Amino acid sequence: MPDRPTPGSPQDWLARAKSDLTFVLLPLPVGAFYEDLCSWAEGQSDDLAWGTGRERGSFSFHYHQDGKPVSVFSVLTDGELWLNLNSMAPKLPLEVLQEFHRALHEIPGFAHIPADFGEWPVVRVGRVFVNQPEALAAFKSAVVQLGKRIHPVG
């Protein structure tokens, strides 16, 4: 068995960095994207609501506007990501919804989303985010930009 570097030493740091780099370069399983979205949502949302249905569980990302929740998206345990446009439509100005839709429409895997704000369009997490980190980053960015419109600064 090879000698292990002294904890905290430059050699230990280098060994950990190489290990981390190897891990980052591996393709992630679908479950890792659920965990990533959930962790990110916990820190970004005003409220994260948990659902326990009979057949599947979920979490829903909410911003608050005037003390009332605005449900932006939900992730279900079966791999569906629902865009809660129908829930947002009566609470947000049309121009804000249209801006959010345009941002989503530019993301690969989201181009099929209609500009019908009376719907709950669905995408599959495994299809739109696995091996496409830029799509996940663009989705998060679109949600953050929506949040800035809901919570304008100044």
User: Which tokens belong to 31?
Assistant: 């479950």
| pLDDT(76) > 80 | yes
User: Which tokens belong to 126?
Assistant: 């495994």
| pLDDT(154) > 60 | no
Reported as half-sphere exposure (CB side, CA atoms, 13 A), residue 127 has a value of 11
Average pLDDT value over all residues in the chain: 84
pLDDT band at 91 (very low <50, low <70, confident <90, very high): very high
Work out the average pLDDT over 141-148: 96
H-type alpha helices, 9-132: 10-25, 30-44, 85-88, 94-105, 125-128
| Residue 126 or 43, more confident | 43
The dihedral of CA 45, 133, 81, 76: what is its sign? negative
Centre a 10 Å sphere on the Cβ of residue 71 and count the other Cβ atoms it contains.
21
